[in-house]
Structure 1
Amino acid sequence: MKLGLQLGYWGAQPPTGVAELVAAAEESGFDALFAAEAWGSDAFTPLAWWGRETSRLRLGTSIVQMSGRTPASIAMHVLTLDHLSGGRVVLGLGVSGPQVVEGWYGAPFAKPLARTREVVDIVRQVLARRGPVTNDGPHHPLPYVGDDATGMGKALKPIVHPLRADVPIWLGAEGPKNVAQTAEIADGWIPLFYTPGSAHLYRDWLDEGFARPGARRSRADFEIAASCHLQVVADAAEKDRVVQAMKPTVALYMGGMGAKEQNFHKQVFVRMGHEALADEVQELYLDGRKDEAAALIPDSLVDDLHIIGEPAEVREKVAEWEETGVTTLLLSLRSADEVRRVADAVL
């Protein structure tokens, strides 16, 4: 199993010390560097900026929000960065949620599966460069055919010859239909809160996608890039401190992300068997009682979601994750020393 350094997205200010983190990841045998976006920093620019100092790390997005750019624009970013990096890009895509799509990007959220299929198809057409790029679908018609169209739109193919026609496309997906479609049309999957304890929930959905006519991959060559917090600790007391410190983040995703009526992250916890807990955490969180919400998160749930322990325990848990099909662990690490400690323990 490979390790990826997850830079995430920025907070109120750009992070510090990233160059040292990236250098340590390259030197320590990490496989990839990933960046994310929400409604602030974008996912591509940090990869271009910090990736320029690397020669081996794959450069991935986890995830690019589809509604933030047209499919052709996404493909242009990928084409450009793949040339600049010598063929190291992994395109991670996702639909985000209705609050961001409609509130930030001013785009409709409806029919996310159909939109995903069109975006992936258009990006692949651009990168293949076999001919002018067209799409008959209702979400991203090419050429544009709306009521306000001039009628002068022309199907085009990229001026630049792409370095690779087969840039890997990984999809962020959580629900049953979305996961099945991911297994059908993508090269990999970026799940949220995928753990050895929850892996069985997804097995049938993935198999349904792999079995569809024309499926791009099989379980044998499909990548699963799971995010978790991996921390090597000295003893049980330090582990307990780390577990307690992780609870506010779990509570945020369980109860504070998305609208009360439609929180995709909360639904993941419901499917994991934590419905009553998720309802209570959400009620407290949305009422502003965040500390109380975090206090409800059991230690066992944090321990299932993340890999925290002394070196031997960490290696044992990493092996458990690998046995469920995880090919890459995406890790958010805070210092170059932490990167090296993780690499020493795992790689």
Structure 2
Amino acid sequence: MKLGLQLGYWGAQPPVNGPELVTAAEAAGFDAVFAAESWGSDAFTPLSWWGSATERVRLGTSVVQISGRTPTSCAMHALTLDHLSGGRHILGLGVSGPQVVEGWYGQPFAKPLARTREYVSIIRNVLSRKEPVTSAGPHYPLPYSGEGSTGLGKPLKSITHPLRPDIPIWLGAEGPKNVALTAEIADGWLAIYYSPRLAPMYNEWLDEGFARPGARRTREDFEVAATCQVVVTDDRAATIAGMKPVTALYVGGMGAPELNFHAQVYRRMGYGDVVDEVTELFRAGRKDEAAAAIPDEMVTETMIVGDHDEVREGVKRWEDAGVTMLLVSCRDAEHVELLADVVLG
């Protein structure tokens, strides 16, 4: 099992201990450090700035939103960071949701699977640098020839030669079709709210993608990086109670009520009635009651919590389920070192 440090995205202000966490993660034997974005801070800049003090850890985005950049622009970011890091970049991509895509980026959300396939294909063409990049579209036509076009667009090849033509591309995916697409065209899966109990279901989705003609990887060389809170504690009950407001936020408050991908994940776990109740309470502003409606097992499905021995057993369970990396959030350097000792030691 590998460990990845999830720095996430910033709140109202940048975190004050970002450099400390990144330095500690490399020293403690973490495999990678990841940054995310929502509608504030971006994911590439923190990796470039804080990652400049590292020599070994991989630097990944988890995730950058495909609607925020054209595929050629995203490829430029990726090849630049890969050069600066000496070939340590992982490009993690995700479609986000309609509220962000249409409300923040002003782009259509429709056909996210088709958009993802086309987006990844163009990035790979940029990185291969075999020929000027063109795309028939329909989502990212190159050269552009639609409304407002001058007709002067020219197929171009990257001026900068990529350090690696095969920078790993991992996809954030939650539903069955998206996970199957990930197994088909990507190098890894960024899984959120992963539950080892549902590993047989996930494996069916993945196997469908691996079996498609032209699939890029096999299960043996494909990475599964799952977001997982790992908490070493003797007070398991208090930790679980402290996580319930966060679970209630994502289940009941993230995305539109009629289209919340996080809620759909928990429905697949069998918590449909709870999701309905939590959504109703959260949308009514009764957030404390929404958190109280979350059963303990709904929290522990997607995290590892307990004393040293219980955590080690939990890590083994996740590894047996097919997870190759745990993406963990840490408070400070001491927390980083503790998790490295328990998980990697």
**2:194 and 2:288 mapped to 1: Cα distance?**
25
User: Are 1:257 and 2:254 counterparts?
Assistant: yes
What SS class does the counterpart of residue 198 from structure 1 fall into?
helix
Deviations 1:206-225 (A, max 9, x none): 11100000000111111110
TM-score of the superposed pair, with normalisation by structure 2: 0.99
What SS class does the counterpart of residue 170 from structure 1 fall into?
strand
Q: Which of 230, 237, 251 is the aligned partner of 1:240? A: 237
Deviations 1:285-332 (A, max 9, x none): 111111100001111221221111111110100010011111110001
Deviations 1:36-93 (A, max 9, x none): 0000000000000110010001000000000000000000000100000000000000
Which residue is equivalent to 2:146?
146
Deviations 1:171-230 (A, max 9, x none): 011111111111100001111111212222212111110000000011111111000111
What SS class does the counterpart of residue 264 from structure 2 fall into?
helix
Identity of aligned residues (%): 67
Alignment of 1:76-225 (within 5 A): 76-225=76-225
**1:232 and 1:270 mapped to 2: Cα distance?**
28
Alignment of 1:224-303 (within 5 A): 224-233=224-233, 235=234, 238-303=235-300
**1:173 and 1:339 mapped to 2: Cα distance?**
26
Report the CA distance between 1:147 and its aligned residue: 2.3
Please tell me the residue identity of whatever aligns with 1:33. Answer: V
User: Are 1:322 and 2:337 counterparts?
Assistant: no
Please tell me the residue identity of whatever aligns with 1:291. Answer: D
**C-alpha RMSD of matched pairs (Å):** 0.7
Structure 2 gap ranges (5+) = none
What SS class does the counterpart of residue 197 from structure 1 fall into?
helix
**1:281 and 1:336 mapped to 2: Cα distance?**
35
For these two proteins, the number of residue pairs brought into alignment is 344
Please tell me the residue identity of whatever aligns with 1:120. Answer: V
**2:97 and 2:341 mapped to 1: Cα distance?**
38
What SS class does the counterpart of residue 317 from structure 2 fall into?
helix
**1:251 and 1:147 mapped to 2: Cα distance?**
44
Report the CA distance between 1:242 and its aligned residue: 1.1
What SS class does the counterpart of residue 12 from structure 2 fall into?
coil
Deviations 1:103-124 (A, max 9, x none): 0000000110110011100100
Which residue is equivalent to 1:14?
14
Which residue is equivalent to 1:67?
67
Which residue is equivalent to 1:4?
4
